[in-house]
């Protein structure tokens, strides 16, 4: 097996290859003057299965993934496993208004044609991968997140909404602390309202877990509600740090003590590695 890192995931791919003890290739990707993608795998041939690690977000990364895959096949790669640490368009998994596309399904249709197995991490809805006819696996970052926070004095794990409560349970159970969820109402793309916490948060060091931080609106409102309820400290661990608009600046000015993400997207907060869980899944074939 050979591991190929696309430009979104070079370090993660290198780490996965190191854990597995297999060869690593970094795709040499640049842009033509008109912005189109150019990539090259610096090899004469590939005579094994290939694992390509690359996000499909933002859009340009999807194009790069398609080109890397073609280069790998042209060099002779056999089975292609696509590891997509952050799967773009996952939140558009149903029709909100007539006339819209099922964007998440479109992504699966493309992947279905170009690879033999897809591995994702904390997909917004795991059921999205049911659109994929080949082998697929959505890995959970709860293990690496819990390991990171083990022994760091967390008293309770919360999710910002009921939809993410399984994640809070998973991390809470692993840490041996109680878990609960908050009640979130989305007011707009950037604003949310978090109802006062029902759980007793007074004097507690709280860890909020979520699949992603985008604008930061959810997590900032959750931290404010929890501090209001008497929490001593509120930290957040999310899988995907997307950080759009002024998210980083807004998070710095918030009541959050610590902001941590996994390295599915490479950011200054990406301290929690998912390389181990990816390698474990790849060992299964």
Query: Is 184 a residue of the active site?
Result: yes
Pick the catalytic residue: 184, 198, 204, 258? 184
**Residue 37: CB partners within 8 Å, gap ≥ 6?**
29, 31, 60, 63, 64, 67
**CA–CA dist 123, 128 (Å, integer):** 8
CB 260 within 8 A of CB 237: yes
Q: Which of 5, 85, 144, 160 binds ligand R5P (CB under 6 A)?
A: 160
What is the DSSP-derived secondary structure letter of residue 162? Answer: G
Give 192 or 262: the residue with its C-beta nearer to ligand R5P. 192
User: Cβ of residue 155: shortest distance to ligand R5P, in angstroms?
Assistant: 22
Beta bridge partners of 24: 3
165 touching ligand R5P, by CB under 6 A:
no
54 touching ligand R5P, by CB under 6 A:
no
CB 192 within 8 A of CB 185: yes
Beta bridge partners of 181: 159
Give 20 or 222: the residue with its C-beta nearer to ligand R5P. 222
CB 259 within 8 A of CB 269: yes
Residue pointed to by tokens 């290859």: 17
- Site for ligand R5P, residues 205 to 244, rule: CB under 6 A: 210-218
User: Cβ of residue 249: shortest distance to ligand R5P, in angstroms?
Assistant: 13
Contact stretch for ligand R5P (CB under 6 A) within 63-71, 97-105, 156-164, 267-275: 156-164
User: Cβ of residue 83: shortest distance to ligand R5P, in angstroms?
Assistant: 21
**Burial letters for 138-165: b for 16+ Cβ neighbours within 10 Å, e otherwise?**
bbbbbbbbbebbeeeebbbbbbbbeebb
Contact stretch for ligand R5P (CB under 6 A) within 100-108, 112-120, 204-212, 259-267: 204-212
**CA–CA dist 76, 229 (Å, integer):** 59
Give 82 or 192: the residue with its C-beta nearer to ligand R5P. 192
Q: Which two tokens stand for residue 223?
A: 């931290």
User: Cβ of residue 256: shortest distance to ligand R5P, in angstroms?
Assistant: 12
- Which residues are catalytic, by number? 184
Q: Which residues bind ligand R5P (CB under 6 A)?
A: 160, 163-164, 192, 210-218
């Amino acid at each position: 097996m050979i591991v190929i890192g696309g430009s979104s995931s070079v370090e993660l791919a290198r780490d996965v290859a190191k854990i597995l003890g297999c060869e690593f290739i970094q795709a040499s990707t640049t842009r033509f003057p008109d912005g189109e993608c150019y990539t090259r795998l610096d090899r004469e041939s590939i005579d094994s299965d290939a694992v390509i690690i690359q996000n499909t977000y933002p859009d340009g990364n999807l194009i790069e993934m398609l080109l890397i895959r073609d280069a790998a096949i042209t060099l002779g790669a056999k089975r292609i496993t696509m590891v997509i640490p952050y799967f773009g368009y996952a939140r558009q998994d149903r029709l909100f208004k007539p006339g819209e596309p099922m964007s998440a399904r479109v992504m699966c249709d493309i992947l279905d044609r170009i690879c033999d197995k897809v591995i994702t991490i904390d997909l917004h809805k795991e059921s999205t991968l049911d659109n994929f006819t080949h082998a697929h696996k959505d890995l959970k970052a709860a293990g690496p997140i819990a390991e990171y926070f083990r022994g760091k004095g967390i008293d309770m794990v919360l999710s910002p909404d009921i939809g993410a409560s399984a994640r809070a349970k998973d991390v809470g159970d692993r840490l041996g602390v109680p878990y609960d969820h908050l009640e979130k109402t989305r007011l707009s793309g950037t604003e949310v309202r978090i109802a006062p916490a029902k759980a007793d948060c007074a004097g507690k060091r709280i860890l909020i877990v979520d699949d992603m931080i985008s604008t930061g609106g959810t997590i900032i409102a959750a931290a404010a509600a929890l501090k209001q309820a008497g929490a001593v400290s509120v930290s957040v661990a999310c899988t995907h740090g997307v950080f759009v608009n002024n998210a980083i600046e807004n998070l710095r000015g918030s009541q959050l003590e610590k902001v941590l993400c996994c390295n599915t997207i490479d950011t200054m907060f990406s301290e929690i590695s998912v390389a181990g869980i990816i390698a474990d899944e790849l060992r299964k074939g």
